[in-house]
Amino acid sequence: MNFRDLIDTLQDSIFTWNYFTDFEKVKLNVKKVEIELNILNYLIGKEDIENEFIQLVEKYPNIRKALPLLIAVRKNKLNETPIITNIDTLIPENKKYIFYDEFKENTKKELLIFFKESGLKDILENKHIKNLVDYCFGVEVGFDTNTRKNRTGDIMESLVSKFLDEFCNEHSNFSFIEQATQKRIKEYFNYDVKTDKNRRRFDFALYDTKNKKLYLIEVNYYGSQGSKLKATAGEYQYLNDFVKSQNIEFIWVTDGKGWLTALNPLEETFNHNDYVINLEMIKNGILDSICLK
């Protein structure tokens, strides 16, 4: 195996259709506030909407928790983002309490400011929205697009898991676990592993029960260039050395055309480590060459 074999077989894409939107998660998030949203539907088209809004909140204070979603804001974002409510002072204040804390007299005033200045009053009063449940379904879809980067890692792990499963089915003395922490490796394989950090978690641990041999595997995918590619390659050189010092094999499975923008650090790590491979190589049976020699 040479470096050219690696870069010539990098994948253009690993994305499946469910990469784009996780509708199960969207449905679950909307379900959490569906009752509150249906109560808020009462406000759509009301003439005296400010009074109607305050009366509704007084009667059903729990509906406040659904209000941030209407302006596409998560609770944790409210914690991080103080709001300027007075343009003259330009002093930002944390207003999270008006949605989640005990309902008090002053809460009504602050909620009314939010209702008007966020634009919700106009949207509901003038019937720009017909149903808040449907509207928030769309908001959640928008939120979900921001998590696509995380799903790239999940898809890569899923693909490698499939190949490992096939390998272990063919070779009964091998088994593997995902999300392999020091504790889980000990529980499943009775194998002691030293870690360089308390929360170190390898994507996979593959164990040969016949030869008492452990393989620790990390996987990632880079579809586009990024500033951290060089640092990533360096990190896996260090991890390789740390693992090998314990007589454990380290396998780095990486893929994606993003590496074409950082060939030098990738080649350095390829030459330094014992095993830097990609999906095409696994598909073509390279695990046999690594683990059955």
Domain termination site, one of 88, 110, 145: 145
DSSP string, 247-282: T-EEEEEEE-GGGGG-HHHHHHHHHHSSEEE-HHHH
Cα-based angle 159, 164, 166 (whole degrees, multiple of 5):
100
DSSP helix/strand/coil, 156: helix
Can you tell me the distance from the alpha carbon of 192 to that of 182, in angstroms, rounded to the nearest whole number? 7
Q: Are residues 153 and 284 in the same domain?
A: yes
Query: Do 112 and 180 fall within a single domain?
Result: no
* pLDDT number for residue 118: 92
Distances (CA, A) of 48 to 62, 63, 130, 160: 22, 19, 18, 59
Beta-strand relationship, 92-93 and 83-84: antiparallel
Among the candidates 116, 145, 174, a domain finishes at: 145
The reply to whether 260 and 246 lie within a common domain is yes
Q: Do 214 and 283 have their domain in common?
A: yes
Indicate if 256 and 159 belong to the same structural domain. Answer: yes
Domain match, 155 and 140 both: no
Same domain (yes/no): 48, 141: yes
Asked whether residue 139 falls in the same domain as residue 163, the answer is no
Give the tokens for residue 24. 């199960």
> What CATH number is attached to the domain comprising 283?
3.40.1350
The range of the structural domain enclosing residue 135 comes to: 23-145
pLDDT of residue 210: 94
Considering the domain architecture, whether residues 9 and 152 belong to the same structural domain is answered as yes
Q: Are residues 106 and 155 in the same domain?
A: no
Residue 205: per-residue pLDDT: 97
Count: domains in the chain: 2
Residues 6 or more apart from 225 whose CB is under 8 A from it? 258, 261, 262
Boundary of a domain, candidates 145, 170, 193: 145
Same domain, 281 and 175: yes
Say what the pLDDT of residue 80 is: 65
pLDDT tens per residue across all 293 residues of the chain: 799 999 999 998 888 777 788 899 999 999 999 999 999 999 999 999 999 999 999 999 999 999 999 999 887 777 667 676 665 555 556 677 788 888 787 888 889 999 999 999 999 999 999 999 999 999 999 988 777 777 777 889 999 999 999 999 999 999 999 999 999 999 999 999 998 887 889 999 999 999 999 999 999 999 876 668 889 999 999 999 999 999 999 999 999 999 999 999 999 999 999 999 999 999 999 999 999 98
What pLDDT does residue 101 have? 83
Q: Are residues 62 and 122 in the same domain?
A: yes
